[in-house]
Structure 1
Amino acid sequence: MSEKPAPAAESVTAEKPAADGPAETEDEQRKPMPTLLEQMGGISGLIYSSVPIVVFVLVNYLFEWQAALWAAVGVAVAIAVARLIRREPIQPAISGLFGIAVAAFITIRTGSAKGFFAFGIWSSLVYCGAFLISALVRWPLAGVIWSTLNNTGFKWRADRTARLYYDIATLVWILVFGSKFVVQQWLYDQDNVGLLGLARIAMGYPLTAIAIAVTVWAVRKADKRLAQLAADEQPEPTTRQEPAA
């Protein structure tokens, strides 16, 4: 006699991994996407990013720019190492450390304390120009960046109203970066290092938070508009008439 239960046991064993696969996928889908604040390192990340600037301004006031420069670099490195040891998001610290390194290089090349802020000032001008050009060519950068990061496509460009929302958000970013450049460049020309540091912090995350809030508003309004258009394009269901008796 041939034994038939064996193939059934093999079938159960073979099907078990397939059952485990979707469960793992569902667990991954349940994980919430990190918020923008979390990607920036949280509240602590925002505070830490300002510490090297504050240290530079204070030490430069008490001593010379050389001591202020090394103090700022040392603090930036210490923050990065501390976040690494505490297993906190390291990307914001690395970005901040890179910015401080570039600022240090420019400061050494110029031989002046105000050179510490030159990179940030001219970066604002570049960003302002990029957002301005994108608005002029009808590819508003606020919508392009958001759609690219979230992989949602660019259907909003086909609708004038939806694109207008992203135009508004892009305009806000233009004003943010433009105001940063104008104010800080004026302080740079005045050789006022103390006010430069204050302006760098005061015009940093507060203005960026406003621009992000407007961008989120634009995304919601544009998505609502596209959803309404999609609903209007759906054909109305036809009612089936019963034949007369």
Structure 2
Amino acid sequence: MQDSSAGISCRALTKTWPGGVHAVAGFDADFAAGQTTALIGPSGCGKSTLLRLVAGLDLPDGGQVRINGLDPAHQRRRGAISIAFQDPSLLPWLSAAQNVALAQKLARQHADPGKVAHLLRLVGLEGFAATRPAALSGGMRQRAAIARALVTAPQVLLLDEPFGAVDELTRRQLAQDLPPLWQAQGTTALLVTHSLAEAVWLADRILVLSPRPARIIADIAVPLPRPRRPGLADSPAFRRIEAEARAALSAPASACP
């Protein structure tokens, strides 16, 4: 386990893809250590690109990302960053448990079969530890990928629509059971989601992004108690924050700063 959580600093980030697609232009943000931040915005606005830049999987054309003052690629190599993107990317020749345990090996951590089994149970894969990805449904593969992202107790957790491939009942259960795991270990989490309710439920802060290239058009605090209890989503405070985020998303492009 890492010995501390990590703050993230993004300064003047710019990324243009081949064909002149400006995904990110002059993006500035700081993410406090131990905080969960949801990124919401129109499809194609650059949310996933931002996660890839923070992870060090892609390099910016301009600007920089620092995680506790260090380059993200360096932090990822030392196992400080875990990523769960929309594509679970499990190795087909390994079982579900072996795919989860592989993250511990790559992070140079001691093997912990008990922790692997615990996480598989939490994500609803108890009884499927020995099953290979081809025999799992899409939602089950995504759940295994989430367990893999959590098993190393990372300083930084990057989640791109982590519950998008699972059914609604499982989605609600995962949203209830998993955040306390990364919050208890002080993990700094960035979450991309298209669900406003999910953003309010999971996050301490919501950044609403403009149409491409991504710029922050609203920065909304989520001062709701943790752990989030059943029934909270029906409270006036929850609905007020959800409405504020919806209004920011619905603002005309001409109103964006």
TM tier, shorter chain?
under 0.3
TM-score (norm 1): 0.25
TM-score (norm 2): 0.24
Structure ranking higher in helix proportion: 1
Structure ranking higher in strand proportion: 2
From the CA coordinates, give the structure whose radius of gyration is larger: 1
